[in-house]
């Protein structure tokens, strides 16, 4: 019988919970009233002598809380009635009765079921149930006894059996390369020389370092959130929505999606600018050889990239390797070209080679045409927005929690060094202003650079302050540099055209915006967002017709700064809540650094353009209110809810220390 099994367990496990019915026998202890003979106990035939013998067993050698000896052969009538009722209830539940217990005098033993040990074990081992441990066979009698009771632990569900989509990319191909190619975009070859000409060598380095600080703080906060749990598709949107809630995630997710789409437009325009410049040298133009040609070429590039992406991300990932090789060769060619003596053609356009006079002339800023430190920062900063390229592919990564921090931070360090080297090399080898006709002039007395007459009116066509294609002229082998420009712009544009639709797909698939659920459906084994591809292409095509790289840069800078600010704030808020659910695997983060990063991003938004910043925040607030009032059936849990619970708990703890007083009690008006 089951009772015999429990007797064996109790003998081998002295003092444990295996058969604890001590409190049942406490009820059977007699009092001085209403005594009856022990023979009337019933079928169990438990006498006071037997109870006394059992109390002297090995399992009862501990100090019991109370130990009362029974009068021989006597017990109370009331206790007999209670014992009979207890036995009947236990038999209905399939539990052993008091007579089946041997180690029944263990002190303070509860009959509550112990917690399942598998809840605290992350292993994948199937553990036996209580039925299997005690060796019960599946008979009708035993099945009836175990009816209504749960197994000690499930033998089928384990932590590793959770259904999840297996990614295809590792941290190098999925995050590192995508971030590098996303960061090294049109800005590298088309705006770094201009940045040095406007801000000078010193302030130019400050612009790069400021962007690096914003990017690295955001990457650290993003890494902390990404390593706190399972990360699915959606990148920045998924991280924020599961941390701060659907209101914040849905609002900033839509802004982040638009920013990535416009970033793709910017890189297409950058490639078109380079193409128009090269073709103009051969006297070939479509319409006017200027902005209209840029628009046509940019649209054609965007259409070509979208067709490639429709083939599949696997094909696109193979082209990424080719683009990276081309980009590396172009950078190496440009560095080698700075060591070669300039030709007459190059010298007439301001290239002097390494020169202390050129370095001194370009050391300090010389802002022109209304440019300032902030506007130059606004033109450069979109280059660093590629740090989210890896996170946007989170649904296609094998291990997002490890890949995102490692690949993103390493990519930021590498690309910042590349940008800094490019800016320094052009600043110390090319003068600010050149006529394209005469060679640069230097003083015979001081050795300093003498600006040409056109520099006073800012009408010189060449020099790093005026010509965007200086790096194209400076390379050792021009075709390789052209190939590098195409590779950098194509890689950044394709990264945005791939990542942005996935953010939009995740946003629509979560049902935050009910009317956009149509675009959340994926197709194929890789859940390709073809519908989101179409929407992204339409938005990118509209923005392409602006045709000016600097104007597009200013627009998307505010959007990306807003997304970075919310990402940093999400990490700060989750840490501040002290929730046990926020325990990131990435330990190199600090809540105050995250808060500083959030404040820095917001400050830069208003310094760059307070009008654009207000418009961005206005859009964010409207989306926030819409999601809040929509009352969608979503319960992801958030740090804001954790903060509410924490504040309420702290308030109750403070109230418990306050003495009672009539002034602190609320009085309801009775009508």
Alpha-carbon gap, residue 612 to 592, rounded angstroms = 27
Question: Per CATH, which fold does 171-630 belong to?
Answer: Amino acid/polyamine transporter I (1.20.1740)
- Cβ distance 557 to 215 under 8 Å? no
Q: Poorest-confidence range of 148-162, 211-225, 324-338, 447-461?
A: 148-162
The pLDDT assigned to 235 comes to: 72
Task: Please give the residue that has the higher pLDDT: either 115 or 500.
Answer: 500
- Is residue 414 predicted with pLDDT exceeding 70? yes
If phi > 0 it is left, if psi is from -120 to 50 it is alpha, else beta; for residue 668 that is beta
Q: Which residues contact residue 602 at a Cβ distance below 8 angstroms, ignoring those fewer than 6 apart?
A: 561, 565, 613
Q: Poorest-confidence range of 312-321, 439-448, 510-519, 646-655?
A: 312-321
**pTM score, two decimals?**
0.68
In the DSSP assignment, the letter for residue 169 is: B
The pLDDT assigned to 78 comes to: 57
Q: How far is CA 551 from the centre of its chain?
A: 30
- Cβ distance 436 to 466 under 8 Å? no
> How much of the chain, in percent, has pLDDT values that exceed 90?
19
Of these ranges, 79-93, 406-420, 428-442, the one predicted with the greatest mean pLDDT is 406-420
Q: Which residues contact residue 323 at a Cβ distance below 8 angstroms, ignoring those fewer than 6 apart?
A: 181, 487, 488, 490, 491
pLDDT, tens digit, for every residue of 276-298? 888 887 888 888 878 889 999 99
The pLDDT assigned to 135 comes to: 56
Q: Poorest-confidence range of 131-145, 361-375, 423-437, 467-481?
A: 131-145
Reported as a pLDDT band with limits 50, 70 and 90, residue 240 is confident
For 267-295, letters b (16+ CB in 10 Å) and e give bbbbbbbbbbbbeeeeeeeeeeeebebbb
Helices (H), 428-516: 470-474, 478-509
Residue boundaries of the structural domains of the chain: 2-100, 117-161, 171-630
Q: Of 262, 260, 261, 251, whose CA–CA distance to 513 is shortest? A: 251
- Is residue 146 predicted with pLDDT exceeding 80? no
For 576-611, letters b (16+ CB in 10 Å) and e give bbebeebebebeebebebbbebbebbbebbbebbee
The pLDDT assigned to 639 comes to: 64
The pLDDT assigned to 9 comes to: 44
Provide the Cα torsion 365, 368, 371, 373; round to 10°. 0
Average pLDDT over residues 178-200: 88
pLDDT, tens digit, for every residue of 519-554? 888 777 767 888 899 999 999 999 998 888 888 888
- Is residue 14 predicted with pLDDT exceeding 60? no
The pLDDT assigned to 303 comes to: 92
Could you tell me whether strands 441-442 and 449-450 are parallel, antiparallel, or unpaired per DSSP bridges?
Answer: antiparallel
- Is residue 555 predicted with pLDDT exceeding 70? yes
The pLDDT assigned to 652 comes to: 80
Reported as a pLDDT band with limits 50, 70 and 90, residue 7 is very low
Neighbouring C-beta atoms of residue 430, cutoff 10 Å? 32
Alpha-carbon gap, residue 369 to 458, rounded angstroms = 8
Alpha-carbon gap, residue 202 to 456, rounded angstroms = 23
Q: How far is CA 82 from the centre of its chain?
A: 60
The pLDDT assigned to 121 comes to: 52
- Is residue 37 predicted with pLDDT exceeding 80? no
Mean of per-residue pLDDT scores for the chain: 76
pLDDT, tens digit, for every residue of 322-333? 888 888 999 999
Reported as a pLDDT band with limits 50, 70 and 90, residue 250 is confident
């Amino acid at each position: 019988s089951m009772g015999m099994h429990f007797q064996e367990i109790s003998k081998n496990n002295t003092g444990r919970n295996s058969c604890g019915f001590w409190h049942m026998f406490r009820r059977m202890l007699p009092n001085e009233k209403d005594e009856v003979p022990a023979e009337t106990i019933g079928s169990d035939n438990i006498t006071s002598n037997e109870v006394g013998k059992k109390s002297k067993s090995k399992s009862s050698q501990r100090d019991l809380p109370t130990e009362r000896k029974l009068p021989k052969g006597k017990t109370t009538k009331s206790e007999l009635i209670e014992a009979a009722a207890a036995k009947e209830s236990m038999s209905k539940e399939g539990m052993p009765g008091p007579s089946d217990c041997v180690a029944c005098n263990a002190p303070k033993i509860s009959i509550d079921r112990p917690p399942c040990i598998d809840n605290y074990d992350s292993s994948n081992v199937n553990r036996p149930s209580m039925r299997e441990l005690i060796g019960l066979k599946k008979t009708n009698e035993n099945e009836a006894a175990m009816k209504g009771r749960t197994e000690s632990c499930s033998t089928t569900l384990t932590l590793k059996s959770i259904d999840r989509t297996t990614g295809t990319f590792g941290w190098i191909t999925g995050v590192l390369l995508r971030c590098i190619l996303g960061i090294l975009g049109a800005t590298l070859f088309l705006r770094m020389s201009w940045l040095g000409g406007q801000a000078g060598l010193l302030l130019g380095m400050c612009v790069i370092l400021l962007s690096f600080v914003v990017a690295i703080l955001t990457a650290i906060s993003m890494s902390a959130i990404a390593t706190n749990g399972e990360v699915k598709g959606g990148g920045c949107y998924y991280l924020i929505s599961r941390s701060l809630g659907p209101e914040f995630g849905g609002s900033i997710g839509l802004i982040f999606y638009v920013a990535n789409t416009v970033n793709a437009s910017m890189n297409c325009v950058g490639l078109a600018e380079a193409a128009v410049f090269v073709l103009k040298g051969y006297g070939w133009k479509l319409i006017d050889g200027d902005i209209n040609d840029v628009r046509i070429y940019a649209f054609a590039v965007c259409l070509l990239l979208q067709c490639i992406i429709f083939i599949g991300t696997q094909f696109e990932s193979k082209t990424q390797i080719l683009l990276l090789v081309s980009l590396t060769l172009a950078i190496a060619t440009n560095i080698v070209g700075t060591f070669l003596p300039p030709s007459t053609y190059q010298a007439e356009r301001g290239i002097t080679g390494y020169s202390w006079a050129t370095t001194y002339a370009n050391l300090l800023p010389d802002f022109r045409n209304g440019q300032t430190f902030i506007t130059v920062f606004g033109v450069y900063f979109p280059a660093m927005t590629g740090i989210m390229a890896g996170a946007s592919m989170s649904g296609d990564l094998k291990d997002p929690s490890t890949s995102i921090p490692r690949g993103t931070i390493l990519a930021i360090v590498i690309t910042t060094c590349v940008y800094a080297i490019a800016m320094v090399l052009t600043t110390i080898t090319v003068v600010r202003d050149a006529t394209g006709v005469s060679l640069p002039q230097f003083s015979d007395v001081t050795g300093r650079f003498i600006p040409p007459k056109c520099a006073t009116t800012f009408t010189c066509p060449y020099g790093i302050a005026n010509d965007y294609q200086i790096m194209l002229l400076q390379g050792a082998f021009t075709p390789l540099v052209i190939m590098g420009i195409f590779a950098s712009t194509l890689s950044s544009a394709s990264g945005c055209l791939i990542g942005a639709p996935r953010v939009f797909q995740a946003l629509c698939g979560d049902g935050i915006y009910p009317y956009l659920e149509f675009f959340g459906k994926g197709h194929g084994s890789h859940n390709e967002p073809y519908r989101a591809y179409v929407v992204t292409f339409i938005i990118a095509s509209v923005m392409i017709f602006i045709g000016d790289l600097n104007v597009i840069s200013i627009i998307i800078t505010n959007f990306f700064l807003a997304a970075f600010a919310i990402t940093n704030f999400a990490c700060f808020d989750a840490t501040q809540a002290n929730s046990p659910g926020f325990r990131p695997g990435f330990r190199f983060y600090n809540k105050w650094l995250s808060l500083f990063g959030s404040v820095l991003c917001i400050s830069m938004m208003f310094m760059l353009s307070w009008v654009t910043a207000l418009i961005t925040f206005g859009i964010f607030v409207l989306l926030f209110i819409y999601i809040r009032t929509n009352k969608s059936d979503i319960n992801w849990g958030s740090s804001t809810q954790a903060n509410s619970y924490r504040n309420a708990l702290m308030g109750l703890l403070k109230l418990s220390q306050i003495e009672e007083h009539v002034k602190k009690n609320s009085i309801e008006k009775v009508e």
